[in-house]
Chain A
Amino acid sequence: MDMSVELDVFVGNTTIMDEEVYQFWLDGYTVNDAVKVRMEGGVLEEYEASTDVLLSDTMDQFRTFQMCERLLHTPAKLANQLLFQIPPHRQTMLIERYYAFDNAFVREVLGKKLSKGTKKDLDDISAKTGITLKSCRRQFDNFKRVFKVVEELKGPLVENIQQHFLLSDKLARDYAAIVFFANNRFETGKRKLQFLSFQDFAFCAGQLISNWTVGAVGKMQQLERDTESGAVRQLLNKQAKEKHPICTNNMVEDMDVDLDKEFLQDLKDLKILINDKDLLDQHKSLVCTALRGKTKVFNEMEANFKTLSRALVNIAAKLTNTKDVRDLFIDLVEKFIEPCRSDRWTSADVRLFLTYYTNSARTLDTFRHQVTWDRYMDVIKSCILKMYHD
């Protein structure tokens, strides 16, 4: 070569960004790899550009993204910084894409402590998932950053995330799930849980956040008018207020990431459903009467009723132990989902069973813990239904 490019920059008054190249950068491609992929993509043929042109363009954009990265760590700054003139809709795109994550990656770290130790495991995760280490780092750092920021904030989790990171509603909800799982350290990595996707867990997290946390109590006040079970919730609120006379709304709201300890304690009361033999039989007969003729697996339901009921109530009763909280999902799978599946229940069967199972408990004369029961079963039911697939 007679000459080499020593310096090569392009700066536009409006910052030029190619979404495709941005994705390569986010995915942790090297400049050369990105150029290779772009060449295969056929941009060159359209514009008769040489590899040099593509290389120059890619390097330039990678540099721009690198310079923007600092700002993306606090997205609110992006709108108020002066260095890059980026149209608002592009800003939104930059932020949303930067905080997007791979499902394969998030499944690996979901429920793990977002600490340095885990960061070392990123090498393994990268090897396992085929996601570049650079991209893994970005995603992990994003999780950690969001976690750290919202950890110290009062108010509803999703809204906080949205406000501080300017994410879309969907992405903010996903991050809320990640933060919630990381905080409670739910076990999601066991082999038996592999069939569950991140979205399954995210759904469950949403259920838990909006029903089982201390913050949920405050939120329910707002929801009560809209929800069908408004009456129940009103009751629940009354109860909650009695129990925490000091906890007014604001004080409660920053507890979005922690489960409501009082509620978990109350769950122990549900044991009566399995310990009291009369109650258990009564419950079974109510459910079986209602279900007869409505499902093909009626016999199996009848045969397994006591086992399943014991399983669900025992899970509830054990939730005061942090260790058992972590095992919530594995317990649900092992003790409920797997038995049902081996008896070839369909989703509809499960729904039918859980609906009647939940509702009949309310009609039991001697059962006095309807509020706790509903709060527990509403969540368990929707989680199981979400998780009940292949």
Chain B
Amino acid sequence: MPGKLKAKIVAGRHLPVMDRASDLTDAFVEVKFGNTTFKTDVCPKSLNPQWNSEWFKFEVDDEDLQDEPLQITVLDHDTYSANDAIGKVYIDIDPLLSCEAATVISGWFPIYDTIHGIRGEINVLVKVDLFNDLNRFRQSSCGVKFFCTTSIPKCYRVVMVHGFVEELVVNEDPEYQWIDRIRTPRASNEARQRLISLMSGELQRKIGLKVLEMGGNAVLGYLQCFDLEGESGLVVRAIGTACTLDKLSSLPTAVLPACNSPSREMKEPPFSEDPNPNIHSSGPSTPLKNQTYSFSPSKSYSRQSSSSDTDLSLTPKTGMGSGGSAGKDGGPLKTLLRQQTQSALEQREFPFFTLTCFPPGFLIHVGGVVSARSVKLLDRIHNPALGNTRSYKLLDWNSFTADEPETRDAWWEEIRQEIKSHAKALGCHAVVGYSESTSICEEVCILSASGTAAILNPKFMQEGCLDSYSEHSRLEDPAPPSCGFCHIPYDELNMPFPAHLTYCYNCRRQKVPDVLFTTIDLPVEATVMGKGSLIQARLCRLKKKAQGEVNATAISNLLPFMEYELHTQLMNKLKLRSMNALFGLRVQISVGENMLVGLASATGVYLMALPAPGGIQIAGKTPSDITYEQHISNMQKKINDTISKNKDLYEVHPQEIIEEVIGSPIPESRQRSRLFRSHSESSDEVSELDLSHGKKDAFVLEIDDTDAVEDIHSLLTDAPMPSGFYSCNTEIMPGIYNWTSSLQMFTSVRVFRLNNVNLTNQGLNKIFNDLCENLLKSLYFKLRSMVPCCLCHLNFAVAVPEEELIQVAVTAVAMTFDKEQAQENFKANMEKAIMKVISENEEQLQFPLELCTETPAPQPFSPSKGTGHQDGGGIHTSARATSVDYSSFADRCSTWIELIKLKAQAIRRGSIKTTASQEKGSPLPEGRSRSLRCMRPFPSSTVSVVKMTPLSFLPGTRIIKYLGIINMFFIRETTSLREEGGVSGFLHCFIAEVFAMVRAHVAALGGNAVVSYSMKECVFMENPNKNQAQCLINVSGDAVIFVRESEAEATAAAPQTSSMQNLSGAAEANA
């Protein structure tokens, strides 16, 4: 008995009236864990019952503790007939299993019913007593911490990054079982909710085991997804990055992190006694005995567009990026680095990292985006152990072996192999910002994976003491400059694809590509000009309705063209904004019965290290016609106008004179840009297609081409953002640093019905494009009171739920920033931002940074200085804004000379001020006045404010504790759709309920915010004729406790949760 779970039911409130006669309810509660159930007394005739029950105690294995949720059912007692269920609460007790996270769960939970929604609230107390168990063969992984956050959590230091972990579990979907025909929708929904809860628990436990085996104690960037495959079953899969984390400010002597004590002890031994000991040698992510599943023969239909070989798995894939080579001077060093890193990484089967944000110095070079897709036909998952029984627990995953080659595991394995080979082709040994997704329509499934090929600093992957490491790096390893990650990782003479290279505009020493596409966040050390911008490419393609293989083939054939067109659109839109790099690129292709919908979102920026992009030139094929010429020149003019408008909007003003001033070797073609396109057809070799219309040096759109007309159309229909608004899909907006604390997270869902059945591709495209544009416009309008503000982490999810429906779901956070401050105290803020980066880095990496106190505004190679272009505030300020060279790796030797240069420059400009005095000018006065305003008495509330954000941080605050992962799955169904306000009313209410349940769980853990929040799934189905609708939502995030930065300083020693909650509540109140 390694654990005792204790639960106490305190009270209920706002219960629904269950007895029409008395207008009251006789409520009691069933508390269930595993197969044990306890009941409270009936509290007669009350809508606000006080049970104040005893402590219900469950003695359970910690394995069950991880898998099972605590299930609380509130019922109405009925003497004569069956008791009516009011609703349920599922409580994930995982956060209580790590002694570093929450210690008690206590609070009001909404009582949820899948048919009626939230029906009152219940106050519950839950505790866990864990016994130290030294069982070596245990299956639990209590103590491993999970984070959705894709960066290093704020109050931790990473000791070591172990690498990729993945796992999946499958089961039959209760919705598709025979019994579903005779049971109520409620029973069916609850069976599904419970099953998914169990499966997520099991999945998390298994991943935890792998982490322990690798010697880690945490999973970062944990990404769990559901594949609702319908008849063929239910797949829950997850990927993440295993790490060893160390709590900051804990004693450095802690070789064993405190959190890990129970599991740590047997970290080494348990698997050495494994029946297959040699498994160890094959790599950390190699499956253990319990990892294999067998599926019924599910065939893979994947064909190449050009190939006649039907048995080959087709995987259209793309390497987006551009290339160049190592400069000669950097050569040997680079080779050395690569060797080191490779040795560390090549041991791994998949050197993938789900992280998108890294400590400075982690990323050495970035190659570009690598992606792979595969079309599969789903078949019934064959589970002999399941038989006809519904009971999930009868399943023993360990009892059967993988005799079927085509399992879901194998599918993903195949895709990952491809990604790995793409990365290799780009000269990279690792993939960062890695993610996987699926799109399912009937029996067709598109599996997608993408990431960014990169070369990483091997030090983070090596076992060993970090102290010695830091000295090491200072002595031997010249820190890469801020532009380092832009330098090409591949060989210039043996480029994987045709690309245009120039010398880096920052260091002038190494080669950089003309354009860089990545799936990661902008590295902190990157130097950008102006602000960033959300860039979206949207595309619909009609497809004939078909079944089975024919359908899969049709889809396979369309995919490469869609990827190509999305890429072209992205490129065009990037040029239109005079930018040269994309971050956070996410390409979704969703499959429907009669169409494919593609949506690529990314954040464009102007990287100072990369060449300025040229304009876009339109060329006609038949120059004879005068009206035609006119048409073309009109369009050209429009495009040029847009470009110049955008330059002002985003404050991107590349300096044309830059080369004269610096006198550096700038290759000839700065004005031109070209599109390169890599498109491989077979699995292993990367045969690149050059589809740039044969013109290697100019970005030319030929107007005769219907695609080009579409491109131009979509280029010019992107409405400009209203003033005061910015948007991006990355964590933060490049170029904005002075965030205020007010924020608004939101989810918006739209479903469109296509009425015209005879749509053309162009017509469809226009509709889809308008749809996205209008949605954005609506968001801007809704949030207009927050101006100046930025929509961050704009995450679009498209789906084709039915033949004529397109669904778009957006989750993002609107954050305000201070414009006044931006102009007046800009510099002060920058300094502060830099200092923050420095101090954070210092904390994260434990590098002493003596330099930072005397660091003036770093301004390497400021172009505005030399040209006397003093008004170009956008340039030098923003350059300064992100120049964090010194913070990246405290390498004094290599930056020493630069520092002196900079100081000299700064002195000449007479702009040296002490950081300390400026910092005084820029605290957040707002926060204070706000809390004052809220001092007037308001109705007393027992509900504490919980903030939610898709970002990993809350501006103006410091996260002091991570309480555990929130991973919730809900189903809502109605048979009275009209009465609930139609589909919009139904979904509006459901989303609000989901938010409420997330907030309640976080508050019960003692938290006041959810960070890295995301809505992973929103499956909506309707049948208006039957007055019915159903929706499934899956959300996740990290529950945290934060304190305001100003308070954190004041009460650093003992932060008090309650008072802090009040204050943060007051601030949000004004948001």
Contacts and interface: CB of A to CB of B under 8 A. Distances in A.
Check if A and B associate.
Answer: yes
Given A50-B777, A88-B938, A92-B938, A82 B753 contact: no
A93 to B, nearest CB: 11
Contact of B939 (A2, A4, A14, A79): A79
Contacts of A56: 778
B782 A80 contact: no
Contact of A85 (B759, B945, B984): B945
Given A5-B752, A7-B749, A13-B746, A80 B941 contact: yes
A53 B999 contact: no
B1069 A7 contact: no
Interface residues of A, number: 49
A316 B863 CA distance: 94
B1069 A53 contact: no
A203 interface: no
A193 B511 CA distance: 91
Interface string A1-29: 11111111111111010000000000000
A94 to B, nearest CB: 11
Contact of B110 (A5, A82, A89): A82
Name, among A4, A12, A50, A52, the residue most crowded by chain B CB atoms within 10 Å (CB to CB). A12
A11 B1069 contact: no
A305 B110 CA distance: 70
B32 interface: no
B806 to A, nearest CB: 8
Contacts of B746: 10-13, 16
B774 A50 contact: yes
Interface in A155-180: 166
A130 B516 CA distance: 64
B984 A8 contact: yes
Contact of B774 (A2, A53, A81, A166): A53
Nearest to B946: A85
Contacts of B988: 9, 11, 60, 63-64, 67
A57 interface: yes
B332 interface: no
B948 interface: yes
Given A7-B1020, A12-B746, A91-B939, A82 B755 contact: no
Interface string B974-1002: 00000001011101110111011001100
Nearest to A87: B1069
A92 B939 contact: yes
B744 A13 contact: yes
A390 interface: no
Contact of B942 (A4, A10, A63, A80): A80
A107 B1069 CA distance: 37
B747 interface: yes
B939 A166 contact: yes
A10 B745 CA distance: 11
A57 B748 CA distance: 11
Interface string B991-1032: 111011001100000000000000000001000000000000
A214 B527 CA distance: 79
B774 A14 contact: no
A362 B370 CA distance: 101
A83 interface: yes
A50 B110 CA distance: 38
Contacts of A9: 748-750, 984, 987-988, 991
Nearest to A54: B781
Interface stretch (A70-78, A205-213, A322-330): A70-78
Interface string A314-346: 000000000000000000000000000000000
Contacts of B948: 13
Nearest to B777: A53
A84 interface: yes
Contacts of A76: 939
A47 B1071 CA distance: 20
Contacts of B475: none
A83 B993 contact: yes
A90 interface: yes
Name, among B763, B933, B1069, the residue most crowded by chain A CB atoms within 10 Å (CB to CB). B1069
B934 A89 contact: yes
Given A6-B751, A7-B984, A9-B984, A88 B745 contact: no
Interface string B101-116: 0000000101000000
Nearest to A56: B778
A149 interface: no
Interface in B933-974: 933-934, 936, 938-943, 945-948
Interface residues of B, number: 69
Contacts of A37: none
B46 to A, nearest CB: 16
A48 B943 CA distance: 38
B750 A8 contact: yes
B386 interface: no
Nearest to B1069: A87
Chain B contact residues, majority secondary structure: mixed
A63 B984 CA distance: 9
A105 to B, nearest CB: 26
Nearest to B779: A10
Given A82-B943, A82-B996, A87 B782 contact: no
A49 B777 contact: yes
A269 B1036 CA distance: 78
A77 B14 contact: yes
A57 B746 CA distance: 14
Contacts of A52: 774, 778
B756 interface: yes
A59 interface: yes
B759 A2 contact: yes
B938 A82 contact: no
Interface string A114-134: 000000000000000000000
B1068 interface: yes
A197 interface: no
A11 B938 contact: no
Contacts of A11: 746-748, 988, 991-992, 995
Given A9-B987, A92-B938, A57 B782 contact: yes
Contacts of B873: none
B554 interface: no
A66 interface: yes
Nearest to B980: A67
A57 B938 contact: no
A92 B985 CA distance: 25
Name, among B121, B807, B941, the residue most crowded by chain A CB atoms within 10 Å (CB to CB). B941
B52 interface: no
Interface in B1020-1048: 1020
Name, among A6, A64, A76, the residue most crowded by chain B CB atoms within 10 Å (CB to CB). A6
B748 A10 contact: yes
B771 interface: yes
Given A8-B984, A89-B1069, A47 B941 contact: no
Contact of B118 (A12, A60, A82): A82
Given A11-B748, A12-B744, A59 B984 contact: yes
A53 B778 contact: yes
Given A6-B805, A47-B780, A88 B939 contact: yes
29 contacts: A3-B752, A6-B752, A6-B983, A7-B751, A9-B984, A9-B988, A11-B746, A11-B747, A11-B995, A13-B995, A16-B783, A47-B722, A47-B781, A48-B722, A48-B777, A52-B778, A60-B988, A66-B981, A79-B938, A79-B940, A79-B943, A84-B992, A85-B1068, A87-B1068, A87-B1069, A88-B939, A89-B933, A91-B939, A92-B938
Given A11-B992, A67-B985, A89-B934, 12 more contacts: A3-B756, A5-B753, A6-B752, A7-B807, A9-B748, A13-B745, A47-B780, A67-B992, A81-B943, A82-B110, A82-B1000, A87-B1068
Interface of A: 1-14, 16, 46-50, 52-54, 56-57, 59-60, 63-64, 66-67, 75-85, 87-92, 166
- Shortest 3 CB-CB contacts between residues of A and residues of B: A87-B1069, A88-B938, A7-B751
